[in-house]
Structure formats: structure tokens, C-alpha cells
Chain A
Amino acid sequence: MNKIWLIIRREFLFRVRKRSFLVMTILGPLLFGALIVAPALLSNIQTDTRTILVHDKAMILDFEEGNEDIRFVYIDPNRYSLEESKAMVLEKGEYYALLYVPTGESWDPDFIAAGIAMYSKNDISLKVQAFVESLIKSKIQEEKLKLLGVDPAVVQQSTTQVRVRTFYLEEATQKERQSSTEVKFVLAFISSLLIYLFIFLYGSMVMRGIIEEKASRIVELIITSVKPFQLMMGKIIGVAVTGLLQFLIWVVLSFGIYVLTSQLIFREKFDAARVLAAQRAELDREGSALPMDIDRSIEIIQAIENINFPVVLSLFLFYFLFGYLVYGALFAIVGSTVDNETDTQQMVLPISVPLILAILSMTAVVENPDSNLAVVLSYIPLTSPVIMMARIPFGVPWWQIGLSMVFLVGFFVLAAWVAGRIYRVGILRYGKKYNLREVIKWFSYKV
């Protein structure tokens, strides 16, 4: 027992002292934080207003001014021809594009709409195109309604802004919580992707470590002091401790970044979210409706704060740890069967297949977390870590989680035993490539 502790300590210290560990540990959450914060930041930044020159003889746009991103500038369609207008866009840098609305003999709006075109030096962004299209569409609709004798004021009144808020009912507390499927989607994707990445990252670390010991021949010296199984488990556990430490640092740093950004950058929105939550609680009690125009980001912040992070996090840790342990044992088998890293391909493939299968079916599982496929895959130990993390944000019955955990732990014990038997033979074999059938035979060898 003392000896396995020494092995774990060496594996841990050796890896933690590497510069790559430090870099990964610090850059990980920064990159991750950036990935989450950047889009929000970008949407906050005022993009340059684009000026679009409008040549509108038909007066379809009715001197509309645009929005905060797009500004329309009108030129006199009687003074300038289309060609002259195009030249203006080309010569003057200030114009993003030219919007040309033609006229014909007919004032039929459909006929006019068919001839509308935009000209620009570069590709026109989808956003601008969509805005212009929807604007023209509504203007033409208005025009048609007018022709049919409908008062524009009536049209204005007949439109309603709809936003459906979603709640989930919590059995335990009898409370309603604001939920956001988008936030759960993101959480499910990120956590199952992380499990997948971690298993590959740390699993291959075990494999490389074993190959290193084999290639440097130190393994023969070590197993005169400890049992091969102790050496293998020491390495697997040592890497696990490294991985857990790295992950915990990531969690702490990410939480720090979250708190920091919530205090500094998005402070107003976070405060607004809290005030709103209080108001909403008040209003819910009174049974009255809510103000309509709620900022989307405030809703997301509320949904994030409503996630039960301690539960998700501890389940994540469990599935990360045991998922890694199962695959760590399988990667140990691969490591023991080869002499150098270039020969691993053929042997890594069989153990990558279930993992890749899991990540491929993850999208389907996230869209339908209670489907038969999802339930079955979350019982199979080789896929359950990835699949369970994709399901957990949406809520999984406790007995399913329990059963899947029991299977996973049981399978780990089995995998470690099998791996140990193959490993003790493999580490002393050199110079030949062994195929899967030979490797399986080692299991029953007497050493």
C-alpha cells in the first residue's frame, strides 16, 4: 500500500511540475471564459453604422431612417441615374452599398419588388440583407393594405409582441423556476464534450506513461519492487489526481471569472436580473402580468443562476473520474502492448469507437434526453459518462443515475482486473507488433 502511494505521488508530482500542466491549467478557463463571454461582449459593442445609399424612385422606403446599425441616405432619383449612383458607392468609402428600387410603367408593388437590387464593393452581410428585405416586405405590405383600404393605424394595432416564458415545476419545493432550454443545451453540450475530451486527454496520458516506462526499460526494474498491477493502478490513479486537480483549478478560476464579469462588465444586467426576479416573485404572488420588454440576456443570467451547480458539478466529477478510470484501464492495455507511440493507432481504434459513438449520439440525446437511445446509452459503461452528462441538465430520474453509476463502477473493477492481467504480460514483450487476438490470449497466461 505504501508503495502504490509512492507511485501515485511520483506520477502526480512529475506531471504537475511540467510546464505544459501550468499552461493548460491557466489557459483552459481563460479560453473557456473567453468562449462564453466573447459573444456577449461582442453583441454589446456598438458596431459601425453602415450607411446605405438609396435610389428610390418608387418611394417604397418612404424615407425610413434605418436602425442603430444601418442608416439610409436618400439621393434624388431624378438627378442621378443608376450608373451615377453606383459610381458614388465605388468612389466614396462612406457608403456601404447602394439600394436600388426601380420604377416601371406599372406601380404594382410586386413588380417593383422583383426589380429591387443592392450593389456594393464587397459582399453584403446577411444581417444587412435580412434587415432590408424585411423592411421592404413590411413597407410593401403596408402599401398593399392601403390599396385595399385598410387604415395603417389598424394594422399597427393588430400586431402583438409574443414571448413565451418557460418554467419548470419543482416537485420538492412546489416552486416554479424560470427555465431556459438554451442554457441547458449549452450546459449539456459543454459538460459531455468536456468528459469526452478529458477521457481522451488523460487516458492517452496513461498510455504514453506506460509506453515510456516500457521503452526506457525501467519497468523491469520497478516490477522487482512492486507488483505490475500496483504499478498500473498507481499510474492510473496518479493521472486521475492530476486531472482532478486541474479540473478543480479550472472550476475555481471559471467561477472567479464569472463573478468578476458579473461584477464588472455585466453588472447592470446582473443587478437588473436580480431586481426583476424579486419583482417577478412579487407579481407572481399577486397574479398579475409582467412587463413585456425583458432583455434576453437578463433571462439567460436568471436561467444560469437557477441551475443546481453543486449537483451537476458533483455528478460531473463522478462521471469524469469513473469514465476516465474505465478508459484509463483500457488505454493501459494499449500502452502495454506496444513499444512506441507510433504503433498505438491500430490498438487505440477499438477503444475509441464507443467514445466516438457516444459523442456522435450526444446531439440526438440532448434534443431528446428521455428517448430510449439516451436511456440505453446511459447504462452502458463505455458510453454512460458522456451520455449522462448530456442528459443531466434536463433532469434524470435518480434511480437511473444510480443504476448507471453502479454499472460504471462495476465495469471499472472488471476492466482494471482484465487490464492488469494483460499488462503484466505486455510490459515485458518487445520488438513485435501484437494483434488483438494475441493480446486477448495474454489474459489467460500464467506469469
Chain B
Amino acid sequence: MENILEIEGVSKAYGQHKALSDVTMCVRRGCLFGLLGPNGAGKTTLIRIVNQIFTADSGRILFDGSLLSAVHQSRIGYLPEERGLYRSMKVGEQALYLAGLKGLGEMEAKRALKYWFERLDIMGWWDKKVEELSKGMAQKVQFAITVLHEPELLILDEPFSGFDPVNEGVIRDELMELHRRGTTIIFSTHRMDTVEELCEDIVLIDRSKVVLSGPLGSIKKQFARKEWEIVVRASTGMDLPVVSGYECEKLGQPNGDMVVRVMDRENKGINEFLTALLATGTGQVQAVREILPAMKEIFIDVVKNQRDE
């Protein structure tokens, strides 16, 4: 099965309020997947349906090719946005209990817990109560608990919130390691830098509907504004050619190189402009690069357009 998760036409309403309408999406096995959307778009509802906290009003969900059911709960790991552990329970005992609920045997759970606690360097907290830990420390424990049962699908809601940059790095490395080992990871996040950096595929949900989905790269291309950046090494000043359909703008001259932004108004591609530039014979072209929009801009654009319609 290529897709670990297939969501087909899922709808969910709370009374009059529609939380999800006809949501369809696929998550490829082993993929780093970004689930994006403004607050209240329906992301949490969707995650809760996949975690079988809620059931969908209509539509169906396939996990690894078969209809999602309670047997899949032990194959999913979930880090809710609102983190929480028993405050007056000891860390180790608590982790073993939660692992047990996920179906791990006691010996197995202990072994996995030791592995993760050593990896995250939190072995010393085993007998501490959660209320004695700082917020960041508790987050680390919670992360260990989420991955303890080696889930095939990890669903992380804002995974990096509450971590300092050092620990964020630690967690990011662990996630990459899990990714290398084949774990599928769904990130639900507002942090677009995380998305740009980590995600391969994304889905954008707005007001209960999927408004955008696909591989990050092709989405960016789709939203490209036909803008190019050209770097030219010119010792003396240079003259830019005037080509119809193109607009140029000099951006500056850092370390002697001229940076030019070219806007392709007629969607002709950059070649015609480059030919004209080379024909002027001034300077050496160092680099030509298409300026792709940041995910943040796409996000805002799409959501705004939706609202305007």
C-alpha cells in the first residue's frame, strides 16, 4: 500500500456548525506531511477523527488499506496541541502505563522507554513527578511517550511549541531519524518555517474544506509570480536591455555583483530576456533563479482569496 492514510469525503458537523465538509486527502507512507490551516479551520477535528476520538458523520478513512478501526490505535502516535500528563504521577510509571494502554507489554515498554529516555537524556527523571519538571522537560517526556510504541503514523500538533532552540533541535533530529526509518509524520502547525523546512506534501484546510493540496514543490511552482532574480558581475556599471513584456528592477550591488529582479509580464519565460541581456555584452551572468513565494505568502493568499469569494 503506497498510502498509509486515505481520507475519502469525510464530513463532520457539530449541530449547525460544519467542522469538515467532504474532505478528501491521502498521506503517502513515509512522507513528512503538513496539515495547515487557520484557527478553527477543522484541523483538530480531522486529527481527532483519525485518532478515533470522534467519528465522522459521513465518508470513510482507510489506514494501510483497511477501514480505520480500534486495532489501528496502537499504530498511531499522537501529540496533542494541549500537552498533558498526570501531574502527581512519576514519569517512568506514567510512561509505562500509557504505553500499556497502547498495547505494549510491560517488558517491551520498559525496554523502549529506557531507549528513548537515554536518547533524550532524561533517564534521571524516571522517578520524578511531572509536577517537579519544568514545562520544557515535561514536553520532552511527552514526546518520548508519543513515540514509545513505535507508531507507523505520528500525528504531531505544533510539535515544537514550548521547546528552547537546543531542545527543538534535539526533537527535530529525532523526527528526522524516525523519518529515515520509515515513519510517516503529519505535522499540524502554524509555523511556516517548519513546513518549508520539513514537509514534502501539504494540505491546506480553510473553513472545513480542503483548499490546496499536493507536494510542497509543485504548489510553490503553481503560485510562482513569474519573477526572476539575476546576478551579474559587472566591474563598471551596466545597462539593462529593454525587452517588451519584461520589467526590471535593480535590487542592489552587494560585493560588486548586481542583483536584478525581472518580472515576466507575458509569461514568456526568462530566456528571451537573458538573450537580450547577453547581447548587451556587459558583465558576467553569475546566477539566474526563479523567485518562489514563501509558504507563508501562499497560505495568506489562499485564505484571503477564499474569504473574498
Residues in chain A within 8 A of chain B (CB atoms): 3, 6-7, 10, 14, 212-213, 216-227, 428, 446-447
Considering the chains assembled together, what is the distance between the CA atoms of A356 and B80 in angstroms? 41
- The minimal Cβ–Cβ distance linking A15 to chain B, given in whole angstroms, is 11
Known: A3-B100, A222-B101, A428-B48. 20 other contacts (CB 8 A): A3-B101, A6-B100, A6-B101, A7-B101, A10-B97, A14-B89, A212-B87, A217-B82, A217-B84, A218-B84, A218-B85, A221-B78, A221-B98, A224-B52, A224-B76, A225-B101, A225-B102, A226-B101, A446-B55, A447-B55
Q: List 22 A-B contacts (CB under 8 A).
A: A3-B100, A3-B101, A6-B97, A6-B101, A7-B101, A212-B86, A216-B84, A216-B85, A216-B86, A217-B84, A220-B84, A222-B98, A224-B53, A224-B73, A224-B76, A225-B73, A225-B101, A225-B102, A225-B103, A446-B55, A446-B57, A447-B54
User: Which residues of chain B come closer than 8 Å to A219, judged between CB atoms?
Assistant: 84
Considering the chains assembled together, what is the distance between the CA atoms of A219 and B100 in angstroms? 15
Give B187-206 as 1s and 0s: 1 = Cβ < 8 Å from A's Cβ atoms: 00000000000000000000
- A446-B55, A447-B54 as given contacts; A220 in contact with B82, CB under 8 Å: yes
Closest chain B residue, CB of each to CB of A428: B53
- The minimal Cβ–Cβ distance linking A340 to chain B, given in whole angstroms, is 13
Give B91-102 as 1s and 0s: 1 = Cβ < 8 Å from A's Cβ atoms: 000000110111
Considering the chains assembled together, what is the distance between the CA atoms of A224 and B76 in angstroms? 9
Is A224 within 8 A of B84, CB to CB? no
Considering the chains assembled together, what is the distance between the CA atoms of A276 and B202 in angstroms? 91
Interface of A is mostly: helix
Is B98 within 8 A of A220, CB to CB? no
User: Which residues of chain A come closer than 8 Å to B100, judged between CB atoms?
Assistant: 3, 6
Give B45-81 as 1s and 0s: 1 = Cβ < 8 Å from A's Cβ atoms: 0001001111101000000000000100110101010
User: Which residues of chain A come closer than 8 Å to B145, judged between CB atoms?
Assistant: 221
- The minimal Cβ–Cβ distance linking B109 to chain A, given in whole angstroms, is 11
Considering the chains assembled together, what is the distance between the CA atoms of A216 and B52 in angstroms? 20
Is B78 within 8 A of A224, CB to CB? yes
Considering the chains assembled together, what is the distance between the CA atoms of A219 and B87 in angstroms? 13
User: Which one of B57, B83, B98 contacts A225 once the chains associate, using CB atoms below 8 Å?
Assistant: B98
Closest chain B residue, CB of each to CB of A18: B88
User: Which residues of chain A come closer than 8 Å to B52, judged between CB atoms?
Assistant: 224
Considering the chains assembled together, what is the distance between the CA atoms of A166 and B283 in angstroms? 124
Closest chain B residue, CB of each to CB of A219: B84
Is B80 within 8 A of A221, CB to CB? yes
Closest chain A residue, CB of each to CB of B79: A221
User: Which residues of chain B come closer than 8 Å to A217, judged between CB atoms?
Assistant: 80, 82-84
Closest chain B residue, CB of each to CB of A427: B53
Considering the chains assembled together, what is the distance between the CA atoms of A6 and B87 in angstroms? 19
Give B147-170 as 1s and 0s: 1 = Cβ < 8 Å from A's Cβ atoms: 000000000000000000000000
Interface centre among B51, B97, B98, B101 (most CB of A within 10 A): B101
User: Which residues of chain B come closer than 8 Å to A446, judged between CB atoms?
Assistant: 55, 57
User: Which residues of chain B come closer than 8 Å to A10, judged between CB atoms?
Assistant: 97
- A3-B101, A6-B97, A6-B100 as given contacts; A223 in contact with B87, CB under 8 Å: no
Considering the chains assembled together, what is the distance between the CA atoms of A220 and B98 in angstroms? 12
User: Which residues of chain B come closer than 8 Å to A213, judged between CB atoms?
Assistant: 86
Considering the chains assembled together, what is the distance between the CA atoms of A205 and B34 in angstroms? 42
- The minimal Cβ–Cβ distance linking A81 to chain B, given in whole angstroms, is 75
- The minimal Cβ–Cβ distance linking A97 to chain B, given in whole angstroms, is 59
Closest chain B residue, CB of each to CB of A3: B101
- The minimal Cβ–Cβ distance linking A8 to chain B, given in whole angstroms, is 12
Considering the chains assembled together, what is the distance between the CA atoms of A222 and B99 in angstroms? 10
- The minimal Cβ–Cβ distance linking A436 to chain B, given in whole angstroms, is 18
Considering the chains assembled together, what is the distance between the CA atoms of A216 and B97 in angstroms? 16
Q: Which 4 A-B pairs have the closest CB atoms?
A: A217-B84, A225-B101, A218-B84, A217-B82
User: Which residues of chain B come closer than 8 Å to A212, judged between CB atoms?
Assistant: 86-87
Considering the chains assembled together, what is the distance between the CA atoms of A348 and B80 in angstroms? 30
Closest chain B residue, CB of each to CB of A218: B84
User: Which residues of chain A come closer than 8 Å to B83, judged between CB atoms?
Assistant: 217
Closest chain B residue, CB of each to CB of A217: B84
Considering the chains assembled together, what is the distance between the CA atoms of A293 and B53 in angstroms? 74
- The minimal Cβ–Cβ distance linking A229 to chain B, given in whole angstroms, is 13
Considering the chains assembled together, what is the distance between the CA atoms of A225 and B53 in angstroms? 9
Closest chain B residue, CB of each to CB of A215: B84
- The minimal Cβ–Cβ distance linking B154 to chain A, given in whole angstroms, is 12
User: Which residues of chain A come closer than 8 Å to B89, judged between CB atoms?
Assistant: 14
Considering the chains assembled together, what is the distance between the CA atoms of A213 and B82 in angstroms? 12
User: Which residues of chain A come closer than 8 Å to B51, judged between CB atoms?
Assistant: 224
- The minimal Cβ–Cβ distance linking B195 to chain A, given in whole angstroms, is 24
Considering the chains assembled together, what is the distance between the CA atoms of A400 and B162 in angstroms? 61
Closest chain B residue, CB of each to CB of A7: B101
Closest chain B residue, CB of each to CB of A6: B100
Considering the chains assembled together, what is the distance between the CA atoms of A224 and B48 in angstroms? 8
- The minimal Cβ–Cβ distance linking B57 to chain A, given in whole angstroms, is 7
Considering the chains assembled together, what is the distance between the CA atoms of A224 and B102 in angstroms? 9
User: Which residues of chain A come closer than 8 Å to B76, judged between CB atoms?
Assistant: 224
Considering the chains assembled together, what is the distance between the CA atoms of A225 and B89 in angstroms? 19
User: Which residues of chain B come closer than 8 Å to A3, judged between CB atoms?
Assistant: 100-101
- The minimal Cβ–Cβ distance linking A291 to chain B, given in whole angstroms, is 63
Closest chain A residue, CB of each to CB of B145: A221
